């Protein structure tokens, strides 16, 4: 006989929990505590230092008597939204859910019930922001960041573009011209089936956004560069000449070069040289460099190189004349060129073998046809890094009738066909040498004298373009703007501007933390698994901050840690982020 299972008697703690949950479900118990993630508190303090709410209110049309919330308050909530959670995307219609249980008075300076936040409020806000000139709003705040946070001057400007896919048709009303063209274009997200817009962004050398704007979905990078140079001339005036404008190879066109150089105050620039630019000047310098073999070793690049993983560089510098203006070509030789070349050889050989396999299956009725096809194949692949060694072979086959032969069976017939035969794969050494030279070198053009800026500094500044790419990665995180769906192009432009502000806050957080880390004799062990925190990106910093919550209720305030062994780290974190209670 099986024994009957004895009922489990719940512990006193479990009985209390069940009773409390039962009371909450029946509504007899109210929760008065708000829990505000620390990252929201710190980012809000940065925005308050920048007078974000006041600036928006001063530049956006609104009626204080008839508006329950000012546009500055609503805009600040939009900018803070990506910092609420990194796990999900939040549509405008559900912002009230995202801010549920958060003390909004700490974030915007006035008590707000999240249930009062609805998509109509934010839709009207986006309309007003667009009216106020989105890029002007961004510039009015972004240009005050270094002064506000006492950051050292930086004269480097990095510029680049990226694309954002959108869902929907976005067909403009008849007779109207939309402010940006939402259309198909080259998608950097590999979504050619969807329409898109683009973002053009200019940051300083630390990756802090200075200027950013939405662009037509099919705008060419060379056109964007021309337009943004003109805009920066308007913003900076004559002082633009003290900055260094850095962009990729799409910058170097004749109109853009003229815009940079043909003025009273020429603009200093650094850019990668396209192969066909100015009579293939890059290739001419490359040939000369390998002939003369006078490379100058630079070692590893850049600010914090890892000798085990980073490439070593050498440089060949030559003064040249470009459209009548003195410039300098810095041709850099990298140590990883051989790896790139070997990978290219392996890829070419694999592809060639597949094509040869198809070729060898063909049969030809006569030798001339086989030779013609073989020669066609050779010519088509003569420029490849590896070549197939082919020959033509005669195949003789005796063909008999089907079934068992009869008494008067026909004699077998000799059938002659021709096939192409592979004798081997051989390296195309001249092409491999050319590929090796190209894979291991790249040429930068600048109008800055080597006496003013060394080759190593030129390389370091150009490599800083990755900071713009990091901003684009933040912009494309699922929560922010990986894909966008809004009804009107004007609202898309306004929302993108708020997201640019969010990325700017990421940059401020990262730059301040890096500066403060330099004051520590040894890096504080507050990274994941309590490892040392060394040059963290902003996502890492936000993750660390998200482990702490400010709990506010009827009994006051206290900070709670999600991880018990991190409770003593909050003062270090506040020091690293320069958290100032005066701006809450």
Residues making up the chain, counted from first to last: 584
pLDDT at 86 over 60: no
Q: How high is the mean pLDDT of the chain?
A: 87
Rounded CA separation 193/183 (Å): 10
pLDDT at 30 over 50: no
Beta bridge pairs of residue 558: 551
Task: Summarize pLDDT for 480-493 with one digit per residue, the tens.
Answer: 443 445 678 888 89
CA 379 to chain centre: 41
pLDDT at 306 over 80: no
Sign of CA dihedral 253, 259, 260, 264: positive
Q: Among 28-32, 75-79, 450-454, whose mean pLDDT is lowest?
A: 28-32
Comparing 88 with 539, which gets the higher pLDDT?
539
Q: Minimal CA–CA distance to 137: which of 217, 76, 204, 69?
A: 76
Residue 173 pLDDT level (bands cut at 50, 70, 90): low
pLDDT at 184 over 80: no
Residue 411 pLDDT level (bands cut at 50, 70, 90): confident
Rounded CA separation 571/248 (Å): 42
pLDDT at 463 over 60: yes
Q: Among 304-313, 318-327, 372-381, whose mean pLDDT is lowest?
A: 304-313
pLDDT confidence of residue 415: 80
Comparing 186 with 330, which gets the higher pLDDT?
330
pLDDT confidence of residue 29: 44
């Amino acid at each position: 006989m099986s024994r009957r299972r004895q009922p489990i008697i719940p512990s006193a703690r479990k009985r209390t929990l069940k009773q409390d949950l039962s009371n909450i479900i029946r509504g007899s118990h109210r929760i008065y505590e708000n829990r505000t993630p620390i990252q929201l508190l710190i980012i809000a303090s940065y925005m308050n230092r920048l007078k974000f709410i006041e600036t928006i209110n001063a530049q956006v049309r609104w009626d204080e008597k008839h508006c329950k919330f000012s546009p500055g308050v609503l805009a600040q909530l939009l900018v803070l939204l990506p910092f609420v959670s990194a796990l999900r995307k939040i549509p405008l219609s559900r912002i009230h859910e995202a801010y549920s249980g958060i003390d909004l008075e700490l974030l915007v300076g006035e008590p707000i019930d999240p249930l009062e936040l609805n998509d109509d409020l934010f839709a009207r806000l986006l309309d007003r922001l667009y009216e106020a000139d989105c890029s002007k709003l961004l510039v009015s705040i972004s240009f005050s960041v270094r002064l506000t946070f006492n950051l050292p001057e930086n004269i480097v400007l990095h510029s680049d573009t990226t694309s954002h896919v959108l869902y929907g048709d976005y067909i403009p009303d008849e007779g109207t011209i939309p402010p940006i063209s939402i259309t198909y274009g080259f998608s950097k997200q590999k979504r050619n089936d969807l329409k898109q817009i683009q973002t053009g962004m200019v940051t300083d050398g630390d990756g802090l956004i200075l200027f950013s704007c939405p662009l037509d979905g099919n705008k060419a990078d060379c056109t964007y560069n021309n337009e943004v140079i003109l805009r920066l001339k308007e913003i900076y005036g004559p002082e633009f000449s003290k900055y260094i404008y850095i962009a990729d190879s799409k910058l170097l066109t004749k109109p853009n070069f003229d815009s940079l150089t043909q003025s009273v105050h020429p603009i200093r620039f650094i850019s990668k040289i396209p192969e066909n630019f100015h009579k293939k000047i890059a290739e001419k310098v490359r040939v000369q460099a390998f002939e003369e073999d006078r490379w100058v070793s630079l070692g590893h690049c850049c600010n914090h190189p890892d000798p085990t993983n980073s490439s070593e560089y050498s440089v060949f510098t030559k003064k040249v004349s470009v459209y009548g203006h003195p410039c300098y070509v810095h041709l850099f030789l990298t140590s990883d060129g051989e790896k790139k070349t070997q990978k290219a050889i392996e890829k070419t050989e694999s592809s060639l073998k597949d094509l040869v396999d198809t070729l060898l299956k063909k049969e030809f009725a006569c030798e001339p046809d086989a030779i013609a096809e073989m020669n066609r194949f050779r010519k088509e692949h003569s420029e490849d890094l590896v070549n197939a060694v082919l020959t033509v072979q005669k195949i003789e086959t005796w063909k008999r009738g089907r079934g068992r032969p009869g008494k008067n069976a026909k004699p077998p017939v000799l059938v002659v066909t021709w096939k192409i035969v592979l004798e081997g794969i051989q390296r195309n050494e001249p092409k491999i040498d050319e590929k090796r030279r190209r894979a291991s070198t790249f040429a930068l053009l600048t109008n800055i004298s080597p006496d003013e800026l060394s080759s190593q500094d030129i390389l370091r500044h150009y490599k800083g373009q990755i900071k713009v790419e990091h901003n684009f990665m933040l912009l494309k995180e699922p929560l922010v703007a990986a894909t966008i769906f809004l009804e009107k192009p004007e609202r898309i432009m306004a929302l993108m501007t708020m997201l640019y502000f969010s990325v700017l806050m990421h940059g401020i957080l990262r730059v301040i933390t890096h500066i403060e880390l330099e004051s520590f004799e040894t890096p504080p062990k507050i990274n994941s698994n309590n490892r040392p925190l060394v040059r963290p990106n902003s996502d890492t910093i936000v993750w660390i901050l998200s482990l702490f919550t400010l709990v506010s209720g009827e009994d006051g305030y206290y900070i709670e840690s999600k991880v018990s062994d991190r409770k003593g780290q909050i003062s270090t974190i506040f020091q690293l982020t320069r958290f100032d209670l005066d701006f809450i």
